[in-house]
Structure 1
């Protein structure tokens, strides 16, 4: 099959990469998205070699459950061992023996085919396009915040970052908290948020400091964490969404002095994300950027790295 392979240092395109040969469901990839985690892996985050990519929509080719064959699906990316305490509690994403699609010991979606356990797959309604469906995985990560924190409508909320994940987080939080400010660096990305009633700022003013009840850090940088700590009120709540490839030390002193609650937040349940797209409660169409054929992966990645770019797709 056609695939892009990462050897820990470089990516290459192969015409005859071995197809998945497992007891799992085989999915033909219709479309895959390039996300910040993919770019961070290329910069040294995690120690991974294989096929990258974990945001996808595809069509089931082979399955023991014949009813699934031909169905359009997306997939939860964590595959647990099924035997440990975490798996027994339904927390596969925290299984110490898990594999993670395109991230940890499992080939991903930048290929013609991938495989996942049947329980990881979710059938996509016909009224969700392929482009929209690719957003299900990161949108689920945004909805995870609502599972972790009891959001209050009167809260002042800040999101630090204006990239792909930050934009989805803002759309989800806006369903509960109308008073949201996005602190970013890219004017065109920020301006796209004005239409959905979000306040935008480039840079933090003195009046912004320690004035937000909830701050979500979604920049992928150490400077983003420092900005977050400037914005949060004493005894406020900070959601950390970034996986930071940098090895610099973070100063956690303010979290102790101001008694800040820090919450790490990663993957989320797919159903709320699928329902939000199907009903139109959350729209992602303005975040769609461009699509590249798989063999032009290097051009796609370079475009995805540009500061002003939102969602870039690869099409096998």
Structure 2
């Protein structure tokens, strides 16, 4: 199994999938991808950012260092790793430990979220109208999310992905029919630099969007308009564009390196995948 660097609990859970009942006669191998930045003690990179968002980055780094000290060039049974897991948390059971830091951060973030994005329980009666549409309220746990649209990516052959000239979903022609939609964290969209790319291109791709009337030199204003309108399902943020739309602003060569696509295959939808992850997948040597 090949996995990214992850928390101790996730690692133990994934190890169980290799040979849960100990029936294999050969050694099972779990390869954990560790970036050079993490090895050198840095917290840079998209994986470190993701773990930091989950409030487990410091714990994960401490777990990696602990295993390096305990299991270098050794084969072991799951029972041995469970013992090490218990020993790890025994060592971490003190103030200013990695686990303590992550827990403090998680609690603080929870308090901030409750204070900033959740109103007191209130029952508000509103008459239902035929034109009522999906919107994300600022005062909710989803206040950081925005509606998004993704171009489809066919991965029947992962080595030869096909960029389909179609979006993940199509809005209906009328105002009353419900339809599927996708959402993503605005924080992630900003961190990837996608919001700036959308602000530069979207007005020319969709002249009907309110961002079209804002001068190109006012990028901050454009970003704010895009972010605010994306609370409405009718104005999603396009995290990737189909070929027809890219041709309006320079062609497929200007795809954003972190663009996020909606991967599908003949059997089923796969889910979102970023362009940089796709490049890693398609350049991976055979057998890996």
> What TM-score do you get using the length of structure 1 for normalisation?
0.23
- Decide which structure has the larger Cα Rg and report it: 2
Name the one with the larger strand percent: 1
Structure number with the higher helix fraction is 2
